[in-house]
Amino acid sequence: MENASDASQPEMFVKYEVKDAVAWIWLARPECGNAQNYRLLNQLDDCFRRAVEDDGVRAIVLGGQGKHFSAGHDLGTPAKDRHLPRERVHLWGDHLTREGAEAQYVLEQDAYLGLCRRWQEIPKPTIAMVQGACIAGGVMLAMVCDLIVASDDAYFQDPVVRMGVPGVEYSAHMFDLPPRIAREFIMLGLRMPAQRAYDFGLINRVVPRAELESQTASIAAELASHPTFGMALAKQAMNFVENIRGKRTSMDALFHMHHLAHAHNQLVTGNLVMSMGAKAMSAANKAAAGEAEKG
């Protein structure tokens, strides 16, 4: 990490560049599968803001450096930062001064549900460019984008029922997948390979890994060629229709169940996610994948 040795500079977990009217925003923690700590999410928000405010930017690509798009929320890397003060984007309280269930609730209102909703409403077209793992918090980031382009080695997974919670904090699954498949996706929590995700319309393209960037760039160029206000209104209109169909209210309901589950887990097991950290989740996922192949 280029700034890690300079204590006066904040550690950067996201990179930003503009090429040919397209902002390329990169999750840049490849050493831990682009796991999302809270600083990464705030830096991501800064980058989205920069892209929105730059009139020269007409489309946005969100990608991940390295082998994986994102392994999800940070469950325990050395840079996990739940204990650090964070700048809040919405008008929610400081989680560090709250007790009991309120602490996690205000944190996730701002950093997870709040930021994802804010990004979904960005008035410029967005593309998630996904390779390798796209798990739980990774699925949230992909789903807030307008289009998803994935390489043939990508897979999507929301395995968090293993943590005793009913899906991720921003759950668009029932809107982005056919109902029976969304149930399977959440209740079994197995990997959905890119081709299967494409067959169900979760993603827009499956491309060879070597062509992921070039094919995404050509779609972004096409999006960038359209009139910006027309594009913004088209996006608003589609968000509006989804919300009339219940996306926003059903996500609110799910978010509150998610927090009932966190509180229950804390009461019963002493841990918000039943102590299912990165290692335990990975082992459980591997075992489940083996069973699925046999079955």
Nearer to Zn ion, 108 or 158 (CB): 108
Of 37-45, 90-98, 102-110, 276-284, which segment contacts Zn ion by CB under 5 A?
102-110
CA–CA dist 188, 2 (Å, integer): 40
Both structure tokens of 27: 């999750």
114-117: list long-range contacts, CB under 8 Å, 24+ apart: 114/89, 114/90, 115/41, 115/44, 115/45, 115/89, 116/140, 116/141, 116/143, 116/144, 116/169, 116/170, 117/144, 117/170, 117/248
* Minimum CB–partner distance for residue 270 and Zn ion (Å): 16
Asked whether 59 and 19 are in contact (CB, 8 A), the reply is: no
Number of residues binding to Zn ion, judged by CB under 5 A: 1
Collapsed DSSP state (helix, strand, coil) of residue 139: helix
* Minimum CB–partner distance for residue 46 and Zn ion (Å): 23
How, if at all, do strands 22-27 and 192-193 pair?
A: unpaired
* Minimum CB–partner distance for residue 262 and Zn ion (Å): 6
Of 64-72, 101-109, 139-147, 220-228, which segment contacts Zn ion by CB under 5 A?
101-109
Of 5-13, 90-98, 100-108, 125-133, which segment contacts Zn ion by CB under 5 A?
100-108
Nearer to Zn ion, 26 or 170 (CB): 170
Asked whether 110 and 67 are in contact (CB, 8 A), the reply is: no
* Minimum CB–partner distance for residue 169 and Zn ion (Å): 5
Q: Which helix (H) or strand (E) holds 149?
A: strand 147-151
Nearer to Zn ion, 24 or 38 (CB): 38
* Minimum CB–partner distance for residue 108 and Zn ion (Å): 5
How, if at all, do strands 147-151 and 205-207 pair?
A: parallel
Task: Return the residues of window 58-77 that contact Zn ion according to CB under 5 A.
Answer: none
Nearest to 82 by CA among 94, 69, 65, 70: 94
Nearer to Zn ion, 216 or 265 (CB): 265
Nearer to Zn ion, 15 or 98 (CB): 98
Task: Return the residues of window 103-132 that contact Zn ion according to CB under 5 A.
Answer: 108
Nearer to Zn ion, 74 or 108 (CB): 108
By CB under 5 A, name the binding residues for Zn ion.
Answer: 108
